[in-house]
Amino acid sequence: MRLKQWGVGMVCCAALLLTACRVVDLDENGKPIIPADPNARVSFENQTPQQIAQQTWNERVQTAAQSHALDASTLASQAKSLPPGKSESVFVRLSGKVERVEISSEREKKLVMRVNGAPLTVQTGPVIRGNAIRDAAGFKFEDFTNQVQFAQLSRAYNREAAKHLPPVDESWTGKPVTLLAALTLKEGEMTDAAALDLKQEAQ
């Protein structure tokens, strides 16, 4: 009698195990898909900087810039409030006339506009330098176990930004524009400005 009960118990256990297994979906290779832990820290360990830039561009850059960009007045206040020796990268939305266009080569083009009485040089690509986009997007050194990724993410973001910009030439001189950009504030100066969105406006 006990043997029979033991056998029934084993069948029940097997049935329960099979039932439990069915709630886990399988991927295309037949391996179980384990749901992500919502409290787990996001990891970029197995991704290239280019993959990180492409996957996070809309949320961490475009959406964040549209929602949190500083205007010229707030930018001036932010620059004054920074402690000596400290730097901060921010998103900005600015309007003004292009004073001049600087073309070092076909790959390095910049426009200069005046913001709060000071000239601002804005990189428009195809080559964009600096860490302003990455840092304004809120990425920190400690977010990455592979620190090479953190260094190279700036270049990946800069390349991604250039894809979304119109070609700039001398004909932009004197034209009114609206600009969405990332830049770095340091010692009261605006540096490493990188355009994210750039439009000519009607005069």
Q: Where along the chain do its domains lie?
A: 1-35, 49-200
Q: List, for residues 65-90, the tens digit of each pLDDT value.
A: 999 999 999 999 999 999 988 999 99
Q: List, for residues 33-59, the tens digit of each pLDDT value.
A: 544 334 434 457 678 899 999 999 999
Cα separation of 127 and 47, whole Å? 23
Q: Which CATH number is 49-200 given?
A: 2.40.50
Poorest-pLDDT segment among 14-28, 59-73, 91-105, 142-156: 14-28
Average pLDDT along the chain: 83
Mean pLDDT within 125-151: 90
51: left (phi over 0), alpha (psi -120 to 50) or beta: alpha
Instruction: Let me know: does 120 contact 112? Beta carbons within 8 Å.
Output: yes
Q: Residue 32 — very low, low, confident or very high, per pLDDT cuts 50/70/90?
A: low
Give the 3-state secondary structure of residue 145: coil
Cα separation of 112 and 106, whole Å? 17
Instruction: Let me know: does 101 contact 168? Beta carbons within 8 Å.
Output: yes
Q: Which residue has the higher pLDDT, 25 or 159?
A: 159
Mean pLDDT within 92-102: 97
For residue 183, which of 139, 141, 136, 140 has the smallest C-alpha distance?
136
Q: Give the pLDDT score at 47.
A: 83
Q: Residue 134 — very low, low, confident or very high, per pLDDT cuts 50/70/90?
A: very high
Q: Give the pLDDT score at 76.
A: 94
Cα separation of 195 and 94, whole Å? 11
Maximum mean pLDDT: which of 5-9, 25-29, 156-160:
156-160
Percent of the chain with pLDDT over 70: 78
Q: Residue 23 — very low, low, confident or very high, per pLDDT cuts 50/70/90?
A: low
| Sequence-ordered list of residues with C-beta below 8 angstroms from that of 119, at least 6 positions apart, any chain | 99, 112, 113
Mean pLDDT within 158-176: 95
pLDDT for residue 2 is more than 60: no
Q: Give the HSE-up count for residue 153: Cα atoms under 13 Å, Cβ half-sphere.
A: 29
